[in-house]
């Protein structure tokens, strides 16, 4: 049976690369983008492109594209950051904006697609997170000096907690994983990034084939499991 994946943030970078990779592996993909222009650029065989901003309630276009089919994988890839600023110059609204996209966005998708996920034989929710969301690593000073914004660190830590909360409620029914994609050479990547989006997409696609039942799980695509 052909598997179905829903991928948000599919208009560019890792999301676009993942959609292409999955379609090439005979997955059916519903690709969520923010604009009609992005939708026009992404269309291909096995891919249904819908305009769905994760900051908004899940709309009829996405629900119609999924229909009553089982959803084997939900990849919450859409995300935003903010420029690094010291405390005195940090606008609290950047934190609220980041939480809306990085935390409430995945929550909206999980709520709307839960019936389809529960209908799949081994469903998986992947929240594309970051190692910078690790409370233990941040408290240990592992990333001191990186200059990452308050908004990104706070929202990714909250996204990790969302993953844990989803896993607790959906235990034994839907696996829920937080995944650090690596240092990607994309628009949101760090200056010293070395991993192309296509490489990370291939790794993530391989991860979707995993039969690992641990949930919640926090891991890096280019390494081992991470500490929350």
**Is the CB of residue 123 less than 8 Å from the CB of residue 73?**
yes
What phi and psi, each to the nearest 5 degrees, are found at residue 95? -70, -45
Per DSSP, helices labelled H in 25-59 are: 36-42
Edge-to-edge strands, sheet with 175-180: 47-51, 28-33, 4-7, 73-76, 124-128, 175-180, 217-220
Check whether the bond before 47 is cis (ω within 30° of 0): no
Catalytic-labelled residue, pool 6, 27, 150, 201: 150
Query: What's the longest Cα–Cα distance across the chain?
Result: 55
150 a catalytic residue = yes
Q: Known catalytic residues?
A: 150
């Amino acid at each position: 049976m052909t598997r179905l994946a829903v991928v948000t943030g599919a208009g560019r970078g890792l999301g676009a690369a993942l959609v292409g990779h999955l379609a090439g592996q005979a997955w059916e993909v519903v690709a969520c983008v923010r604009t009609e222009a992005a939708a026009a650029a992404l269309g291909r065989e096995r891919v249904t492109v819908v305009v769905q901003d994760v900051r908004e309630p899940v709309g009829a276009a996405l629900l119609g594209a999924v229909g009553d089919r089982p959803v084997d994988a939900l990849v919450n890839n859409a995300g935003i950051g903010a420029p690094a600023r010291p405390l005195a110059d940090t606008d609290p609204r950047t934190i609220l904006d980041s939480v809306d996209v990085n935390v409430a966005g995945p929550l909206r998708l999980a709520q709307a697609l839960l019936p389809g996920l529960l209908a799949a034989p081994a469903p998986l929710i992947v929240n594309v997170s970051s190692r910078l969301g690790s409370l233990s690593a941040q408290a240990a000073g592992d990333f001191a000096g990186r200059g990452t914004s308050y908004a990104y660190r706070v929202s990714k830590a909250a996204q990790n907690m969302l993953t844990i909360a989803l896993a607790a409620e959906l235990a034994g029914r839907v696996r829920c994983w937080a995944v650090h994609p690596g240092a990607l050479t994309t628009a949101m990547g760090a200056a010293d990034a070395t991993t192309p989006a296509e490489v990370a997409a291939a790794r993530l696609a391989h991860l979707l084939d995993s039969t690992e039942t641990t949930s919640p799980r926090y891991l890096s695509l280019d390494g081992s499991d991470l500490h929350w």
